[in-house]
Structure 1
Amino acid sequence: MRSGRGNQNENRIFCIPAYGHTNPTLEVVKELVQRGNDVRYYSYAMMKERIEATGSEFISCDQYDPQMYLKPEDAERISTDIAFSTELLVNMTLAMDDGLIGEMTCWKPDCIVADSMAVWGKLVAFKLNVPFMSSTTTFAFNRYSAKVMKQSASQVFKMLFAIPKANRQLRRLRDKGYPVKNILSIIQNDNETNIIVYTSPEFQPYSETFSNKYTFIGPSIRETACRPEKLERKTIYISLGTVVNTRPNFYRNCIRAFAQSEYAVIMSVGVETAPESLGVIPDHFTVAQSVEQIDVLQKADVFLTHCGMNSTNEALYYGAPLLLFPQTAEQGGVAYRVNALGAGAYLKDDSPESIESGILDVLKNIFYRQAAEKISEGFHRCGGSKLAADKIEALCR
């Protein structure tokens, strides 16, 4: 495993089975491989093809992960029940312990990079005393940036009530030699850990409160051979992402809103919604279960979005203004930041009338586009995947 600079760098990457967390890392991994680094990427079968396309080695985690076997109602608890999610985290870490620790002890990596939510990667690094880099595809999180999340009092109380239960689960990790203090020491960002953040200092809320251990590299966007040409008609892009997207009535309302319009409409509805189930689709609509989002955003004039961090970064990278329709608290924080910087407006509700008026407002008021282009300029000033690779290689040395 020879790096392009003559060093031997063996890197491990850990991620969760989510496109919004995986996609930003792919250009970084590709850059590392192109420099001659050996990269093993621990992820899930659904991501295998994308990961192997970078030139890295894919290692499946499916057999270790209890989340792969959850009932739908249990899966919904992960983001709301910290005790439940901690139990799953502990179960997975211990399931991976024998094989993973044995493999890394025999062939000790020079660096471990783990998604901020793939905390088992962080725990393994700490246990083996391997240099560690966190990969944060959401906003960096501290007590200042937490203000944009706007959690309700009941949500905060529920989390605080569950912390003692979560900490009891962590005793199982300490019994296996993992240096874990409490649940907050696992989930929070701190100013002593090296962290890559996939956004710009200008877009990150309260970026001035983070230490120089944080590197804001901007969105890590897949390069395209050529930029798609804008369509003759204004183009509306609609997507609720790949997770909380089963909203057939919402998609039908979007069709009703623009059935008689002069605009081109591209709508991604997710794998759980069959386009033919949405009724008659007008000729100026393109409706599919998935689209090449990077290509679409380069020609979109407005994006009606769930405000996932990855989708938002990609849209703003190309200067596309947003109509904001967040579905979770995290997405609400992203929407709040976009709106505060003037690059998007909130969708009042999902009625055809509100969808139409919201889209037209963003389309016809040029200040939304101008604000989006300003954020885009900040993104392009960042170092992207090359800067991330520089930081990882420096950590290896």
Structure 2
Amino acid sequence: MSRIAFFNIPAYGHTNPTLEVVRELVKRGHEVHYYSFREFRDRIENTGAACICCDEYMPPAPADIDKKVGRDLASLISMTVHVTLAMEERILKEFGEWKPDCIVSDSICIWGKLYAKRLGIPYVCSTTTFAFNRYTAKLMKQKPGEIFRMMAGMSEINARMEELRQHGYQADKFYELLQNDNDTDTIVYTSPEFQPMADTFSSRYRFTGPSLAVPVSAAAERRRPLVYVSLGTVLNKKDSFYRNCMEALKGENIDVIMAVGSRTDIPSLGDIPSNFTISPRVDQLQVLQEASVFITHCGMNSVSESLYFGVPLVLFPQQPEEGAVARRVRELGAGIFLKSTRPAALKRTVTYLLENKSCRENAGKIGAGLKRAGGALKAADTIEEIIEKK
């Protein structure tokens, strides 16, 4: 039996892919301590792992967080340095007593990586997006305003990096904390076929595919197509977009399930068409088993889950990372970009995908590759192999 520590940021898109891996490791007899946040405690403890909540170390979210998510590098570096130093005393004490055999940390959760290096503990990077190196980073295609914000924040970034060095951490260049490298053992929750430029990554990258607990579908066979609409769990306060979807698809010979997030006041959206079901959240894996088309923000998990079930996508990315995922889907012929959010454009795009067999076939081919990659079992195997080599 090994002792394995997981670290993650407070985000569903980064936490959910790890849960079935943790469940498999616990099933194999390993002891897992998962450093996360209260919002995720029940999910983590349901795997059999111990959840250590770190909310007290996280600085308050800025009021304009919707504008900064995925776009403000200085805020990200500042937050991660804050958490690293705030948790330092606790982690050094607990790890001195518990002595973990391995640390698995999300690629954005820099503190896990820094603790592993400082303590000389074998480290595995958990990457829930595409793997990014100096080649694939160019796929992000940042807008001029985002580039300006990064340049304007460089003085803050440099100050935070110096703060890390003064506390004894190896922190030379800031992008080395975020960018994958060929010398780090890395689990990527996609397939080598879907990963852009997969041949530029070393054998230390394991493309394991999505780690899913697929529910058994109990729904009766649908008499007409189902269109699923969701903009994820973060940047989903888009009332005008939801109203346009309602206007575009009301009265059509289809059913629509729309997940609008907890911050959306559903009654304020107006009269709900009879062919619509609107909820804050749904069981996405359950819905996607029945769906014919998915209108999505193009988060990596949502896209992977859609393709896993062979569902073509209407691509509506909200930030650079999602744009890279969307362009890969388009490149492989499994979805099309939404060029306008006006009702007429929404209706035209959905109708095209409902009638286009090639997009569904291409989605199915990508999904077959995701299933072949191995999922949670392959990821757990990888972690065990790394521990055995130490």
The CA deviation at 1:82 is 2.3
Asked if the contact 2:228–2:291 (Cα under 8 Å) also holds between the matched residues in 1, the reply is yes
The CA deviation at 1:90 is 1.1
1:351 matched to 2:351? The reply is: no
Asked if the contact 1:142–1:188 (Cα under 8 Å) also holds between the matched residues in 2, the reply is yes
Amino acid at match of 1:162: G
246-255 or 128-137, which deviates more: 246-255
Structure 2 distance, partners of 1:228, 1:36, is 35
What residue in structure 1 maps to residue 232 of structure 2? 241
The CA deviation at 1:157 is 5.1
2:304 pairs, out of 293, 301, 313, with: 313
1:207 matched to 2:195? The reply is: no
Asked if the contact 1:227–1:298 (Cα under 8 Å) also holds between the matched residues in 2, the reply is no
TM-score (norm 2): 0.96
Asked if the contact 2:72–2:146 (Cα under 8 Å) also holds between the matched residues in 1, the reply is no
Structure 1 distance, partners of 2:66, 2:243, is 27
Asked if the contact 1:228–1:298 (Cα under 8 Å) also holds between the matched residues in 2, the reply is no
3-state SS of 1:41 partner: strand
What residue in structure 2 maps to residue 37 of structure 1? 30
1:110 matched to 2:101? The reply is: yes
Deviations 1:228-261 (A, max 9, x none): 4541110000011111110111111111111111
Gaps of 5+ in 2: none
Structure 2 distance, partners of 1:121, 1:257, is 46
Structure 1 distance, partners of 2:155, 2:62, is 25
The CA deviation at 1:311 is 0.3
The CA deviation at 1:168 is 2.3
Summarize the alignment of residues 1-397 of structure 1 with structure 2, pairs less than 5 Å apart. Answer: 8-66=1-59, 69-73=60-64, 76-77=67-68, 79-156=70-147, 158-160=149-151, 162-226=153-217, 228-397=219-388
177-186 or 225-234, which deviates more: 225-234
Structure 1 distance, partners of 2:69, 2:272, is 36
| Structure-2 change in CA distance of 1:126 and 1:75 (3 Å) | farther
TM-score (norm 1): 0.95
Structure 2 distance, partners of 1:384, 1:282, is 38
The CA deviation at 1:282 is 1.9
The CA deviation at 1:226 is 4.2
Amino acid at match of 1:189: N
The CA deviation at 1:274 is 2.2
Structure 2 distance, partners of 1:205, 1:227, is 35
| Structure-2 change in CA distance of 1:123 and 1:230 (3 Å) | farther
Asked if the contact 1:239–1:269 (Cα under 8 Å) also holds between the matched residues in 2, the reply is yes
| Structure-2 change in CA distance of 1:255 and 1:74 (3 Å) | closer
Structure 2 distance, partners of 1:396, 1:91, is 29
Identity within the alignment, %: 47
Structure 1 distance, partners of 2:265, 2:216, is 31
| Structure-2 change in CA distance of 1:378 and 1:78 (3 Å) | closer
Structure 2 distance, partners of 1:227, 1:329, is 37
Structure 1 distance, partners of 2:243, 2:217, is 33
Shift >3 Å, 4+ stretches: 74-79, 152-158, 160-165, 225-230
Asked if the contact 1:229–1:299 (Cα under 8 Å) also holds between the matched residues in 2, the reply is no
Gaps of 5+ in 1: 1-7
158-167 or 231-240, which deviates more: 158-167
| Structure-2 change in CA distance of 1:258 and 1:82 (3 Å) | closer
Amino acid at match of 1:23: N
Deviations 1:38-77 (A, max 9, x none): 00111111111111110100000100011xx133225643
Structure 2 distance, partners of 1:215, 1:348, is 35
Let me know the Cα RMSD of the aligned residues: 1.5
